[in-house]
Structure 1
Amino acid sequence: MNAPLGFHIDTFQNEYLPAGATRVDAVVTVTASGGGPSPAGGAAEVIILDCSGSMDHSHGKLAAAKNATAAAISAVRDGVEFAVVAGTDTARMVYPVTPTLITASPNHKANAIAAVQQLRAGGGTAIGSWLALARNLFGTRDGLRHAILLTDGRDEHETAAQLDVEVQASSGVFVCDCRGVGTDWEIAELRKVSTGLLGTVDIVADPADLVADFRTMTTAAMGKSVADVSLRLWTPRGATVRFVKQVAPELLDLTGRRTETGPQTGEYPTGSWGGAESRDYHLGLEVAAGGLGDVMLAGRVGLVRGSGATAEVLGQGLIKAVWTEDVAQSSKISAEVAHYTGQAELAGAIQEGLAARRDGDLDTATRKLGRAVQIAAASGHADTAKLLEGVVDVLDARTGTVRLKSAVRKADEMTLDTRSTKTSRVQKR
């Protein structure tokens, strides 16, 4: 029998502030260890497959998507509840036929795979309706609730406001990993879904790569142990929270997701966790200035399961502030805070540079993408540095001197944009 999942919190900061300073920054590392998959009866999986007309137009996308869905179904553990949904300008059940989840077994999984292989493409795309059906399938059940959503096109059969409503309604109900196949889908739309539902977004430019990707996502979901985990932050009276951001393994701004749960206390959703998993969070606080020599508890951060007074505390760390006249102490920058500040700038430079390139503002594009090259080189983010070489010729990485490529493959540009929020981990002391 697996031991319960354990959590440990480490706080990294320079707690020393000069006289009059009010801003406190800390990087909090949460590490999970031990544990194992949640009981099968406490997990649910929904696979949402785009079956719009464009999936059958070229490159064998529908056939590859069917095979990928079959791989995902095979990876669902027996005893886990699951369903497959076909998405067009509406959403409909593929397996089971009725709008409910069914318990995974060899027989049910074989039947689901057979039903998927019968799918045909046709119709439009309305991603919000797909989320609505998945939300209804998950219902109010507790435990791990995960969905995979695949599309190859833009959300053309509903308004942006309609999609926003469905994302908001699904927030907290399930976690959703999104994948775009090919290059005709809209990154901003899937990023909106994945961010709102605490999942990931990525491009699968070659449909042949879908099988491995779906299998990996489902296997990871099956390995989760604890659902509905939140970061709880207490701050002293008079303090304000500037931001709370997940900064590793990828950037996710949680600031606007705060739920007030007590005096000077709020909670931020982090989704589901499994063993051997670690995430970093950057917390920015504003406190009242103290006098020289004063010591303040600027924040207490914890990880909790559940919410409010009955929540189970899984781990806790402290954020401090000490005012000093020692310039050597107060001018030191935390390596962790500096690293992730740079990673956030890297993501922004990439996205702004690509947007400027698309708008024909080549000077801004060159400047922003050059800065991205410089940060990637300095922070050891080799994966991003390699992706940047698909859109610029690097003349000097150290100074960020680049030249825009005259011809760029759309897949290279979309891959760089999609993966701009993935971060490199700071080397812990």
Structure 2
Amino acid sequence: MTAVAIAVFVVAYLLIATEKIPKTAAALGGAGIVLALGVTGSEEAFFSRETGVDWDVIFLLLGMMVIVSILRRTGVFEYTAIWAAKRAKGSPLRVMILLVLITAVASALLDNVTTVLLIAPVTLLVCDRLAVSPVPFLIAEVLASNIGGTATLIGDPPNIIIGSRAGLTFNDFLVHLAPLVVIQIAVFVAVLPLLFRGSFTVDESRVAEVMALNEREAIRDTRLLIKCGIVLAAVFTAFIGHSVFHLEPAIVALLGAGVLVLISRTRPEEYLAGVEWETLLFFAGLFIMIGALVHTGVISRLAELAAHATGGNALVSVMLILAVSALLSGIIDNIPYVATMAPLVADLAAGLADPAHAQALWWSLAMGADFGGNLTAVGASANVVMLGIARREGYPISFWEFTRKGAVVTAITILLSAPYLWVRYFLL
């Protein structure tokens, strides 16, 4: 069964990467095969936290998609798009930098998937106003979201798993990872002109048109905007106060969506039109295939080989976990990878006498998994969501188009993370 699980995943992954067939069809087809052949069963696929569909992710996405769908009716995205374009004086590069910084900060305070759902409509509108392709902007934002989300406990789903397993608090993540993230974002902004060179040409007449616009005129429904603002404030407060309220983000998102649907009296066909059903189904199929790899012991075996190759050396262990996590998280999605790797890191940490070295293992796992999520189009949930939005809006981004940019950014962030870990936890 192990060989079957590997073969199905490899074939499905190749189909997704080459785009020979729609990626949702490839993911669901692979999931159907491992279920039909008994590689994994319904219990493991639908009810297990370790090997099944991550329903927290699915319902978090669903709830936020409904909220964003209703919010779109207010005109606030058009308002923000015009505001951003005017503050950037119509320069596409300055617009990209502004949106990247907003995305990075928001991803640290919320989570990167929620941030992507909120920032994508703004990006599409501002690019439409300036008559430039939104593809480079969308790619830059999702890369920034994965970097920014690394800074806090709630910013990236793998961090929640690590925090729970290692007993790390919101403040722990802020103190240990936020300084590095600030450096990473500064470097990322600096390389944007090179990474997306040729994407910043704009017609001056379009710039003049944008500068003449009044963003306040974009708001179509003030009362609905107030209602959305109240619900979003409550949702964001619950996200940030996760450790206080003990409510999972998925529950918060669904409650927020339900309340907003009720008080806005939006018809089902209106708020459901904004749900990325293909993206949700793709996630389900991908989770089941990866769950089959976990269930048959493939991922555990890979993680064990990596962990035991260090020979007990703390620095080698930290650097190996960083590198392996970046590579594997980019290939199989960082959420199931971290869920599998966490127990092994806990065992390694328990065997180290120096608490700083032990904690460095957890930070290397977080950095590798979060930054490694940028490696490919399926490395992180935010990537899949952003590509789904782009495809629906008529701007499809291929697997390789994303990965060419993502691989460069992943290499930069990992190369910056290695000396940070060495200096902070082994030299100081």
User: Bigger relative contact order, structure 1 or 2, given CA contacts below 8 A and separation 6+?
Assistant: 2
Q: The TM-score by the shorter chain falls in which range?
A: under 0.3
Higher share of residues assigned helix: 2
Quick check: which has more Rg, 1 or 2? 1
- How does the TM-score come out when normalised to structure 2? 0.26
